[in-house]
Structure 1
Amino acid sequence: MRAHKNGTTSNEVSSFLLNCFVRSPSWQHWLSLPLSLLFLLAMGANAILLTTIHLEASLHQPMYYLLSLLSLLDIVLCLTVIPKVLVIFWFDLRPISFSACFLQMYIMNCFLGMESCTFMVMAYDRYIAICHPLRYPSIITDQFVVKAAIFILARNVLLTMPIPILSAKLYYCGRNVIENCICANMSVSKLSCDNVTINRFYQLGVGWTLLGSDLILIFLSYALILRAVLRLKAEGAVAKALSTCGSHFILILFFNTILLVLVLTYVAKEKVAPEVPVLLNVLHHVIPAALNPIVYGVRTQEIKQGIQRLLKKGW
């Protein structure tokens, strides 16, 4: 119990309920199957990609190490969000403890930022490969990957840590139903009886700083790549150069398009059904994870050949 300024008391919340699509139960029935398939696809495809890169000596190169990091991030994000959503769909187990909710909040914010930063480092890798090919082996080394991984980890771990801390320090005085399938910061914070202005500004500030700066640097890299490609005179050189960037550019589009649509639906939430942003929140954690390894596996000859060799060995 906690006393209020007016002398009344109220019970302090000790756990939350994830409401998900409780007002639209048909959504849960229809979504459970495709969501399960996407989850299995994401887990299986990323596991195959990681195994292939680990076992194939020819793939022990900086570019594929970065791709391995991306797969690990995708796996963690999927495991953090999708199993709980499926349990809600199948068994209506909506309760989530305080600690589990804020841990999920932290992992989602931290790992989405790490994924965005990984895309930025991969864009720099492609920029060096095309614009400075002779210097590529001396710049993009194993040591570079280690330093990049440390930077990605440190930046996002430190800058996103205040998000769940600020949210956890709020006073939750009665309402405990989260109108979402996940413990998104603002979905949780707005249940409190305290002022959430600091939470909102920090979330927006960090989000736009991290994801925005990464996106600007990615587009800058591709602008320089495009300029260098257009200067190439050799026959077929343009197509070859662009093909080396194709997979990476497609993955960036997957990641940022869903994120952009999610932001736009929140801005125009009066004009869209409340279930739509909730659905996009969930899909943003599984669709890129399912498609990333498939795109690289299909478009990258070395990975495709590595997977084929592994399958032949298994048989």
Structure 2
Amino acid sequence: MTSLRLVFAGSPAAAVPSLTALAASRHDVAAVVTREDSPQGRRGTLTPTPVATIADELGVPTIKANRLAGDATESITALGADLGVIVAYGGLVREPLLSAPRLGWINLHFSLLPRWRGAAPVQRSIIAGDELTGATVFRLVPELDAGDVFGQLTQSIGGHETAGHLLDSLALSGAELLVRVVDAIADGDAVAEPQRGDVTLAPKLTLDDGRVDFTRPAHDVVNLIRGVTPEPGAFTTLDGARLKILDAVIARDAPRLAPGHLERQGKLILVGTASDPVQLITVHPAGRKAMDAGDWWRGRAADAAAVAE
């Protein structure tokens, strides 16, 4: 069996299973490319990426760069890698680096390409109400997420699954797919086919994308909350303060409420939408810890109806 010399580029936790799987394979991970240490937490402590931490544990050299240009390109090219592998690195690979590895680069992307090309495929698929998603390993080309496909897997999206949970699951199954593709490339058995289907885009989410619009139907509201959890997070404004919504479900048997109208009905904390009310399960008030929605409601200054904006 042929062994390939790899350079791996990745940064967040979702890329860790791929790195560990490749490190345990028959192939040689010559170096890891990841983003530079960044301030984390209230104290702004400089913290390495999850991929950098695992690379250190594995004893794999790291190249830290926020852009794959200049010195980073020279360092990666000098590795003499057979194949570049990228999983959620957080930056673009352009020429001349794109052609530096003998066999080019492949990318593990967490969607059924060409659906959801871009930085936030898992989040966008949940927000859109997709019932099916997956992971794709494709050849990296200059155009965004447009290269020929080496392999793909499909996975159902659970009705209560958040983007965080779904990404964790796809990171594991995608890592297995990635190793199979690298093995096939090494053995000369890999076949890449053009992407087929309608192209949709998945741009990076902003903080404001997490604002809940209660004038939408209940299923759209809940899908948004699931899709932006844990990042960037769902929120509304109540009494002039931001209220994060961590978990919510459709209350199908509850009486209708005006959109944004929030009140307690028995043990349920409900907020109106354009259709069924939504039951708040877990919330995170400003300046406090996350808590059960009922406990939060009882702690308010007045146990009365309110309007979320």
> Structure 2 length as normaliser, TM-score?
0.24
More strand by percentage: 2
More helix by percentage: 1
> Structure 1 length as normaliser, TM-score?
0.24
